[in-house]
Structure 1
Amino acid sequence: MSHIYIFSPSSAVRDKAAFKRGLKRLRAQGHEVEIDADALSSHMRFAGDDDTRLKAIERACASGANIAMISRGGYGLTRLLTQLPFKSIAKAVDKGTQFVGLSDFTAFQLAVYAKTQRITWQGPALGEDFGPESEPDEIMQACFDDLCLEQGEGTGWRMPSTPSSPMLPSVKVNDAVLWGGNLAVLTSLLGTPYLPMVKGGVLFLEDVGEHPYKIERMLTQLFNAGVLKQQKAIVFGQFTSYKLVTHDKGFKLHTVIERLRSQLKTPVLTGLPFGHVATKVILPIGAKVDLATDGRDAFLVWGHV
């Protein structure tokens, strides 16, 4: 099985029980799990000060692991972007280390692609996905197993039949770069050298705890910056854990998506099983993909990476 290196480049681990359960489950699956020396460090809200977390990234690069997985997201990586060891990261990827994570890790992954064109993977975090009291989600586990075996070559899903996802014309996109991740983190990189200048790509987005009006505000910033118009397709993952209020008066997430569709010729798809949810697929940032739809069925294929 795989050599998995667990490190904490963002916020401090607060749920130690979930951390331990995650380790136990991965080891029970036959993986060799190595824990970074500062994986459980804490400095203010972070998993150690900036220098501590940079050294953890360096150790992950030097570990020789098949998979370097974050313990959790939170916040912290945008503080480190100017100091990331891009040469070490690129060398580690070239030697077979696959960096895996989501949420705040989006900053790391987009910066790595912008600076090195190396592929990293949006996918599970230790505590969130392997550490719950219930068993890990079967789809997430199957996708992770495929990653460990280097045999995952794509994914498919059924778009929901909702006001924000009517029956759309068939979509077919070939040989486009897949990129994206957490919407708030991605938007924060606009105007910096750490946001890849992807044209003709497939952009996927997710977020947690953001009210639809905040989602619309961020999408409007991306729209006005010209980012959205340059894509061949935009794919919405899961947007969760927000609360509507009385004075929204019908303003919901589907309102945001319908407005975006009215502004763009680019197809906007929904329902991708990815985000801060138990059921998540694993997606290669920077890989060339083909995207197609057949009615409400969507297929995203990247072949062997």
Structure 2
Amino acid sequence: MAHIYIYSPSGAVRDKAAFRRGVQRLKGLGHEIEIDPSALATWQRFAGDDATRLAAIGRAAASGADVALITRGGYGLSRLLPALPYRALARAVRHGTRFVGFSDFTALQLALLAKGGGVTWAGPALLEGFGTAEASGPDEIMLACFGDMVSQTGEGTGWRLPAADVAALEASAGRRRSPHLVHAATLWGGNLALVQSLLGTPWWPGVEGGVLFLEDVGEHPYRVERMLAQLLHAGVLARQKAVVLGQFTDYQLTPHDRGYTLAKVVAWLRSQLKVPVLTGLPFGHVPTRVLLPVGAKVDVLIEERDALLLWGHQH
């Protein structure tokens, strides 16, 4: 199967049992696992100080592995952006290493995209993806998508659109009757807070005419709206061909909200844009998560209530 290099570029691994479970499950799938020497390092809230984590990223890039998989997200990559080994990362991508992660990993993915470093994969981390304590084990859809990525046979993903999405598309003059919503657009995005944090920095990828996908965790709808509003007012959203919203989880509405829900945020966003806004993408801080090739060219098709995100083979 695959040679998988496991490293920690962001937060410290506190759950050692989940780490061990994840490693054993990947071995059980037939993969060869190589663990970075500082994968379990700790310094403050980080997996080692900045120099330690930069060295780990460098070793992942030099590993020659088929897959370089982060242990977890958290926080830590933003402060490393000026010093990341972009050339080594880009060279590793060209030579076939698939860098996989999500959440805080968005910062590295988009910075590398800004530097022309090639396609990386938004997908699981070791702990929450493979080290889950659930008796049923890792999510079957996530495992299937990971297997497709490893074998380089995955060509896309699909999901069922909410009725509100279909109504909005039908009301849009731009859709007409063609099921082909978007053709050959760059897929980019990730965690909304991390995407927003890069705006105006040297590591902003500046993608225009792309498909922007977004997710987040622990962010109340008003904070989600505020982050979307910054991207909107900066002109980022209007310059895309589509905005695709994944899962926004682990927040608590209060009596003060009085009906102000995430659905209201989406409705407001649609009122501000001519660009199609799709929801329900199975991606985020949830067990059922597809893998997405950040930086790849994709098509978006709508067939009745089914949305299809297609990218063909990514090598």
Q: TM-score range by the shorter chain?
A: over 0.9
1:124 aligns with 2:133: no
Shift of 1:116: 2.1
Structure 1, unpaired ranges of 5+? none
Tell me the SS of whatever aligns to 1:24.
helix
Encode CA deviations 1:100-121: one digit per residue, 9 max, x unaligned.
Answer: 0000000000000001241100
- How many angstroms apart in 2 are the aligned matches of 1:289 and 1:84? 27
How big is the shift at 1:296? 1.7
Question: What amino acid does structure 1 have at the position aligned with 2:71?
Answer: S
Q: Are the structure 2 counterparts of residues 175 and 97 from structure 1 closer, same or farther at C-alpha, using a change threshold of 3 Å? A: same
Q: What's 2:207 paired with?
A: 198
Determine the structure 2 residue equivalent to 1:284. 293
Deviation at 1:167, TM superposition (A): 5.5
1: distance between equivalents of 2:246 and 2:140? 18
Q: Structure 1 vs Structure 2: percent identity of aligned residues?
A: 63
Contact 1:164 1:257 (8 Å CA) reproduced: no
> How many residues are matched?
304
1:56 aligns to what? 56
Q: TM-score, normalised by structure 1?
A: 0.98
Cα distance between partner residues in 1 of 2:23 and 2:237: 39
The residue correspondences of 1:205-284 to structure 2 (distance < 5 A) are: 205-284=214-293
Q: Partner of 1:118: helix, strand, or coil?
A: coil
Report deviation, 1:12: 0.2
User: Partner of 1:27 in structure 2?
Assistant: 27
Per the alignment, in what secondary structure is the counterpart of residue 103 of structure 2?
coil
Segments of 4+ moved more than 6 angstroms: none
Q: Distance in 1 between matches of 2:132 and 2:308?
A: 29
2 CA distance for matches of 1:118 and 1:30? 27
Tell me what 1:158 maps to: 160
- Give the 3-state SS of the residue equivalent to 1:116 in structure 2: coil
**1:166 positional shift:** 3.8
Contact 1:238–1:276 (8 Å) recurs in 2: yes
Question: Which is worse superposed, 53-62 or 163-172?
Answer: 163-172
Structure 1 counterpart of 2:105: 105
Match of 1:80, SS?
A: helix
Corresponding letter in the other structure for 2:52:
T
TM-score by length of 2: 0.95
Return the alpha-carbon distance in structure 1 between the equivalents of residues 150 and 188 of structure 2: 21
Matched-pair contact (CA < 8 Å) for 1:71–1:125: yes
The CA deviation string for residues 194-228 of structure 1, in whole angstroms up to 9 with x for no partner, is 11111100000000000000000000000010000
1:141 is matched with which residue? Answer: 143
Q: Distance in 1 between matches of 2:37 and 2:64?
A: 16
Q: Which residue of 1 aligns with 2:86?
A: 86
Give the Cα–Cα distance (whole angstroms) in 2 for the partners of residues 66 and 294 of structure 1.
35
8 A contact 2:156–2:309 mirrored in 1:
yes
